[in-house]
Structure 1
């Protein structure tokens, strides 16, 4: 799956470089687009959700220590809206809430490698990023930019029957880059960004678990934080 994601990113980048090369030096489209005090748009894209796992080495009642890792990166879907406020010639403030569908799988293995359990964790995340967009110099019909800011997330995909459950709220930082491509009637911007969660999203209060032995998987983790990789296409 990681190989497929890399191939997709390389193909997307190659296609955009070809389009940019053709537009360089030509008559510029949407000459006054960047002078608008504010504008709106929408987002379509893909995401890949990841965990950063920390262990505490606690021994269960059978004398085993459990360790977890995410087995692979799966591709999910992203859709959102764009609100953009012009601050200066090269800086914009952006609010880009998005709905993201994805899943992750945690694989637990004991210290001897004899016992293992794969736990699927599905997520439906509403992301609320507030970022500053720093734009470079426009060249023909394209213009590169960088993004940085903070974000809060709301996970609606709680699975109470699962041995691992995530908290609903999280917060973190976002950063990334992209290129505005000025077409005759709108801007299209391929964009890649990363979200790094700062809080522990592992839900430890699990009164609904009837088999106490299932708590050993939660107890084996000292901290679980989220990472999101987002490839989007912005229409503005």
Structure 2
């Protein structure tokens, strides 16, 4: 009896440990996707752009409430090396800001909503890690240009006529990180 119990436990131990010894290869989706020299795609996103004011009148206090906007655009991705790509991501960016003028007494005149639409053109370098199954993290950095369609930069009117002058051209840098997730028919790349 004792011998049969020991044999059962030894048998269970061998079955369980041999199950852990089996390496299960995961199915790699789109295994040659990153080998192509060019990729095309699109992006959807959210933004929150800051706003800087230059005051003509000293001691003027304006409070700004930034609201979340959205981005939509195209992606052109060119592979340079296995882990380095160049990206061009032209698109449109829209956001709204609310300005509160503390030196104006009437509620109607003390609040202004600014709606801006930009042509956003970033040129980025994407540094990717080696792919692990269907997962590939990356870092991204580069420069970008914004063209403000609603800038009124050359207008002679001012805030009294409810027209704001803003810069038409903006240059900036971008840095971020993300991950490429490979699925059966497509690659999904969330990033910050």
Q: What range is the shorter-chain TM-score in?
A: 0.7 to 0.9
Alpha-carbon offset, residue 158 of structure 1: 3.6
- The structure 2 residue matched to 1:67, chosen from 51, 61, 69, is 61
- Aligned residue pair count: 159
C-alpha distance in 1 between matches for 2:106 and 2:143: 40
C-alpha distance in 2 between matches for 1:90 and 1:53: 41
SS of match in other structure, 1:185:
coil
Give 5+ residue unaligned stretches, structure 1.
1-24, 60-64, 193-236
Q: Which residue of 1 aligns with 2:162?
A: 162
User: Does structure 1 residue 139 correspond to structure 2 residue 132?
Assistant: yes
**Mapping of residues 131-210 of structure 1, within 5 Å:** 131-158=124-151, 161-192=161-192
CA-based RMSD: 2.3
| Structure 1 runs, 4 residues or longer, greater than 6 Å off | 113-116
User: Does structure 1 residue 120 correspond to structure 2 residue 127?
Assistant: no
* Contact preservation (8 Å) 2:151, 2:164: no
Which structure has the greater CA radius of gyration?
Answer: 2
TM-superposition CA deviations, 1:149-177 (whole Å, max 9, x none) = 00111111246653432122111111111
TM-superposition CA deviations, 1:55-97 (whole Å, max 9, x none) = 68x44xxxxx2122322x3222221001011111111000000
Kindly indicate which of the two structures has a greater share of residues assigned to strand.
1
**Mapping of residues 35-74 of structure 1, within 5 Å:** 35-53=35-53, 58-59=57-58, 65-71=59-65, 73-74=66-67
Give 5+ residue unaligned stretches, structure 2.
1-24, 156-160
Alpha-carbon offset, residue 147 of structure 1: 0.8
Q: Which residue of 1 aligns with 2:88?
A: 95
SS of match in other structure, 1:105:
strand
* Contact preservation (8 Å) 1:38, 1:86: yes
